[in-house]
Amino acid sequence: MQLFLDGSDINKIRKYCELGLIDGVTTNPSIILKSGKNMIEVISELAGIVSGSVSAEVSALDSDTMVQEGIKLAEIAENVTVKLPITWDGLKACKTLSNKGISVNMTLCFSSSQALLAAKAGAEYVSPFIGRLDDLNLEGIDLISDIKLIYSNYKFSTKILAASIRTVNHVKQCACFGADVATIPLDIFEKLVKHPLTDSGLSQFTADWEKTGQSII
């Protein structure tokens, strides 16, 4: 499973990219607002840090303007992926941009039927928002499972990019159910490595090693 970061914190994203653990980044208008920066500047900076896909979302609601915005966003860098909402206009724009060779991420996906249409429209990625479904006491992970089955039945190449991830357990579930990508907020990503038994076990090993009086180098 590829791991993307969902956010725009340049320094933290650079840190984890340098570890070789990050395959891409996703943004959306709310993330851009939170950054307090110009969108084009943020996307340009992120595209220079991350070797993989960087998702940048259009603001338009009509397909013609979505296409214009998508072309401009794609011109920022070759690894920019254009994010489009799953609406009829978004699907039409997806067809046009995909046919131009531009990578598209169909976002705000909450149903299997939407994911089916995204694949038919030629999207490189579809973003099911599992956290927001959980917020409604629906099982967001079931959507990942259903899309995985549909895509494998018909050998669609569209990649499932699990989004709206709220917990470490969401990441585990996405991996278990075969999502191609999980886009993870930084605070959740930083929890992935933590376990109290690892901490306590390492403390004990360190203490016992010191008692040996030995050194390796």
By CB under 6 A, name the binding residues for ligand G3P: 6, 26, 28, 129, 131-132, 163-164, 183
Considering 83, 95, 159, 191, which one is annotated as catalytic? 83
Position with the least CB separation from ligand G3P = 164
Do residues 13 and 183 lie in contact, with contact meaning Cβ atoms separated by under 8 Å?
no
83 in active site: yes
- Smallest gap from Cβ 14 to ligand G3P, in A, equals 19
Q: What are phi and psi of 132, to 5 degrees?
A: -70, -30
Given the complex with ligand G3P, which of 26 and 81 has the nearer CB atom?
26
Cβ–Cβ contacts within 10 Å for residue 87, how many? 17
Given the complex with ligand G3P, which of 135 and 199 has the nearer CB atom?
135
Given the complex with ligand G3P, which of 187 and 199 has the nearer CB atom?
187
Torsion on CA atoms 192, 170, 159, 101, rounded to nearest 10? -70
Structure tokens of 72? 């401009």
- Smallest gap from Cβ 196 to ligand G3P, in A, equals 26
CA gap 40, 32 in Å, rounded: 10
Please give the C-alpha separations between residue 69 and each of 53, 82, 84, 96, in angstroms, as whole numbers. Answer: 17, 9, 10, 12
- Smallest gap from Cβ 210 to ligand G3P, in A, equals 44
- Smallest gap from Cβ 13 to ligand G3P, in A, equals 14
Structure tokens of 156? 């669609």
Given the complex with ligand G3P, which of 48 and 131 has the nearer CB atom?
131
Catalytic residue numbers read 83
